[in-house]
Every structure is written in structure tokens, then in C-alpha cells.
């Protein structure tokens, strides 16, 4: 354990698995007290227990970030109990599949409740709570928010909104020393992608499109989030950082 985030308080949504869990482990390993939230108690407790067993400081709270009152209250409670909030990682996500012509209004709006509304509510609360001493907000978007993806129009629109919302939030937070940045993953090996990646043909076709030749690991996203959360990124705000193995940098890869 090192101390790049010593004495920092970090709140991470979607912390029970995937990128959120990896981020919680990474930030805790650097000295932060991490509070992770999600909708299911068991995976949250497992991640928090793992962090504590490794010598870190972690708490788990059950919160659905698509519930404005519950999410805002959880952030305020975290700040009250610990005396501050230094880092917020808006990582929780939800999505629906479907062609546009067949998509219902309910399926369309379901993409926004967690990714956009939750990110807005969390960022709004964090701006208020961090105003006195500054802080870092990292919002997790997706390559779907920068490149068109068939059958994922709602999710793509939601993640595009997260990217540009974060730029506006960065401009508003800057006078108070609050930095707001985005990380943009492509395909990462998480529970959400496990089904697709379990098919060897689907995995091979996916990896063929990535210049580095493989899908990402949650820990690689966590490393990028750690940098943006740390004082090493003290002059970085309003950035949208692709962490995608080069996928967004190329039109096609070599055949």
C-alpha cells in the first residue's frame, strides 16, 4: 500500500463488480477510505471485506443511483460521517438493447435514469459538498458515447450526454478547485460483457477491432481513474480520456 490518496474520502457507485470494484480496490490501496454503493448488498459486502482484509478502509451502502433522494442522501451522509468528500466516481450504468424502430419509450428512458440522471444528481451533490476544499469527480462513459453502435441507441445517447455534461461541470467546478473528468472504456472484461466474451468467435471478432489486440481489464480503467482522482492530475479538468486499447483511434485495424 502506498499513499497517493492518504486521508482522502472516495465514493464509488456501481462498486460491487467490474470497473467499480477494481476502482475501489485501487483507491483503497493508495490510502483512500472508499465508500462503495450499488443495488445489491452481497457483492458490495464482498468487495468491502476484501479491501479491509488487505489492510484498506472500505464501507458498503445499498443505494440505487437512479433514486435522486437516496443517492443524494448517501453522499451527504458520507460527507457528514467522514467530515469531507474528496473523490466521486460515477460508474454505475444500465442499458437496454434494441433497434430504434422497435424501441419503446420505456426502454429509451431506462438508459438515462442511471447513466445520466444519476451522474447529474451525484455531480450536483458533490459540487456542493466539495466547494469548501475542492475535489475530483470522475464520470465513466463509454465508447458507445463517441461512436455509433447499432441496437444501443439509448445507451449511446446517454453516454454521449455524460461526456458533454462533464465538460460543463468542469467549467463550473474549476473556480472552486473541483476537477471533473471522464474515462471512456471500450469493451472491458466485466460481468456485463461476460456472456458475449464467452463466445470464442464473438471475442475474436471484438479483439480484431482493437489495435492492442485484446479487451480491457477493469484494473486498467481503475488505474486511469486513480490518476484523475489524484493530485498528479491537478491541472487536468474537462478531459475525456479513452482507455480502450486504441479502439477509438482507428477507422479499421489490419486484416
Quote the pLDDT of residue 101: 96
Q: How confident is the model at residue 193 (pLDDT cuts 50, 70, 90)?
A: confident
Work out the mean pLDDT of the chain and round it to a whole number.
95
Kindly tell me if the per-residue pLDDT of 143 is higher than 90. yes
Distance CA 70, CA 49 (A): 23
Q: Which residues contact 197 (CB under 8 A, 6 or more apart)?
A: 187, 189, 203, 206, 215
Quote the pLDDT of residue 202: 86
pLDDT in tens, 100-120: 999 999 999 999 999 999 999
Quote the pLDDT of residue 253: 61
Quote the pLDDT of residue 130: 98
Q: How confident is the model at residue 252 (pLDDT cuts 50, 70, 90)?
A: confident
Q: How confident is the model at residue 141 (pLDDT cuts 50, 70, 90)?
A: very high
Least confident among 18-32, 49-63, 183-197: 183-197
Q: Examine the residue annotation and report whether 71 is marked as an active-site residue of this protein.
A: no
Q: Which residues contact 14 (CB under 8 A, 6 or more apart)?
A: 20, 37, 38, 65, 91, 92, 93
Distance CA 234, CA 155 (A): 31
Q: Where are the alpha helices (DSSP H) in the chain?
A: 18-29, 41-53, 68-82, 105-112, 119-130, 153-173, 194-197, 200-208, 218-229
Kindly tell me if the per-residue pLDDT of 1 is higher than 60. no
The percentage of the chain sitting over the pLDDT mark of 70, rounded to a whole number, equals 98
Q: How confident is the model at residue 255 (pLDDT cuts 50, 70, 90)?
A: low
CA angle, residues 48, 28, 158, in degrees to nearest 5? 80
**Residue of higher predicted confidence among 206 and 55:** 55
DSSP 210-231: STTSS-B-HHHHHHHHHHHHSG
Q: Write out the three cell numbers for 176.
A: 472552486
The domains located in the chain, with CATH, are 9-189+218-241 (3.40.50.720)
Q: Write out the three cell numbers for 54.
A: 488487505
Q: Write out the three cell numbers for 141.
A: 462513459
pLDDT in tens, 42-71: 999 999 999 999 999 999 999 999 999 999
Kindly tell me if the per-residue pLDDT of 34 is higher than 90. yes
Instruction: Work out the average pLDDT over 87-103.
Output: 94
Instruction: Work out the average pLDDT over 138-145.
Output: 97
Amino acid at each position: 500500500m502506498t499513499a497517493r490518496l492518504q486521508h482522502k474520502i472516495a465514493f464509488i457507485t456501481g462498486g460491487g463488480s467490474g470497473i467499480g470494484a477494481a476502482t475501489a480496490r485501487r483507491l483503497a490501496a493508495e490510502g483512500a477510505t472508499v465508500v462503495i454503493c450499488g443495488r445489491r448488498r452481497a457483492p458490495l459486502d464482498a468487495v468491502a471485506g476484501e479491501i479491509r482484509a488487505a489492510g484498506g478502509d472500505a464501507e458498503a451502502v445499498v443505494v440505487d443511483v437512479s433514486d435522486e433522494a437516496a443517492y443524494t442522501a448517501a453522499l451527504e451522509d458520507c460527507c457528514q460521517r467522514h467530515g469531507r468528500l474528496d473523490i466521486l466516481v460515477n460508474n454505475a450504468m444500465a442499458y437496454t438493447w434494441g433497434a430504434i424502430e422497435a424501441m419503446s419509450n420505456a426502454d429509451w428512458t431506462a438508459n438515462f435514469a442511471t447513466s445520466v440522471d444519476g451522474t447529474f444528481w451525484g455531480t450536483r451533490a458533490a459540487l456542493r459538498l466539495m466547494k469548501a476544499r475542492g475535489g475530483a469527480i470522475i464520470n465513466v462513459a463509454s465508447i458507445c458515447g463517441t461512436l455509433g453502435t447499432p441496437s444501443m441507441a439509448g445507451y449511446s445517447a446517454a453516454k454521449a450526454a455524460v461526456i458533454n455534461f462533464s465538460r460543463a461541470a468542469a467549467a463550473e467546478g474549476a473556480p472552486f478547485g473541483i476537477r471533473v473528468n471522464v474515462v471512456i472504456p471500450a469493451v472491458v472484461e466485466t460481468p456485463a460483457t461476460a456472456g458475449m466474451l464467452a463466445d470464442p468467435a464473438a471475442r475474436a471478432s471484438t479483439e480484431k477491432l482493437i489495435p492492442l489486440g485484446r479487451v480491457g481489464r477493469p484494473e486498467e480503467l481503475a488505474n486511469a481513474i486513480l490518476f484523475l482522482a489524484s493530485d498528479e492530475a491537478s491541472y487536468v479538468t474537462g478531459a475525456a480520456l479513452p482507455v480502450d486499447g486504441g479502439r477509438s483511434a482507428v477507422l479499421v485495424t489490419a486484416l
